[in-house]
Amino acid sequence: MLDRALNAALKRPLQRMASNLIAMGLGANQITWAGFAIGLTAIPLIATGHSEWAILSILLNRLADGLDGAMARLTQATDLGAFLDIALDFLFYASIPLAFVLADPAGHGLAGALLIYSFIGTGCTFLAFAIVAAKRGMSSTAFADKGFFYLGGLTESTETIALFIAMCLFPAWFTALAFVFAFLCALTTVMRIASGITAFR
């Protein structure tokens, strides 16, 4: 819901940083992989009770996610880059609730499983819509810079990262936060299914 506004606000500073990375000889896909690896360091940090330090891993992952796209647009966007960007994003998103389950399997197991299930709902409807939209030659006017059709919703990247940061700051609230966000993800899933029915009927 907030991705479009945040992307617009960060566009210029990300472009400046991307230009510097390109001048250093780095490529967009290298930043994608580096960001993914950094993001996964949140798993052991959260699992061992150091969730506050995991916030840095999460924020650096998101910085890399913004930079790789900016670098691709300044050089040459590729299908491989678009594929890696979204695939590794979804794997990263699922890793955070997994880490909280590892930290407390008995206490966090149900909420973590429900949250990951809700991520599957938002993720599969997002990707399924993008596949059919590409087949029909449709493009997104709201996210024209994306390498595929980007269908928005109540729970986009910005809201998800805000959730992760809240969980890391207040790990005792994990269960409540997970249940609330899973409900919002369910609404997003229903909205995307409705959009698909309307668009592809």
**What mean pLDDT, rounded, does the chain reach?**
90
Say which range, 33-37, 93-97, 125-129, 181-185, has the weakest mean pLDDT.
125-129
pTM for the model stands at 0.88
Which tens digits make up the pLDDT trace of 71-89?
999 998 898 998 999 999 9
| Whole-number pLDDT of residue 23 | 93
* CATH fold group of domain 3-200: Four Helix Bundle (Hemerythrin (Met), subunit A) (1.20.120)
Per-residue pLDDT at 150 exceeds 80: no
DSSP collapsed to 3 states, the chain: CCHHHHHHHHHHHHHHHHHHHHHCCCCHHHHHHHHHHHHHCHHHHHHCCCHHHHHHHHHHHHHHHHHHHHHHHHCCCCHHHHHHHHHHHHHHHHHHHHHHHHHCHHHHHHHHHHHHHHHHHHHHHHHHHHHHHHHCCCCCCCCCCCCCCCCCCCCCHHHHHHHHHHHHHCHHHHHHHHHHHHHHHHHHHHHHHHHHHHHHC
Percent of the chain clearing pLDDT 90 (strictly above): 70
Per-residue pLDDT at 148 exceeds 70: no
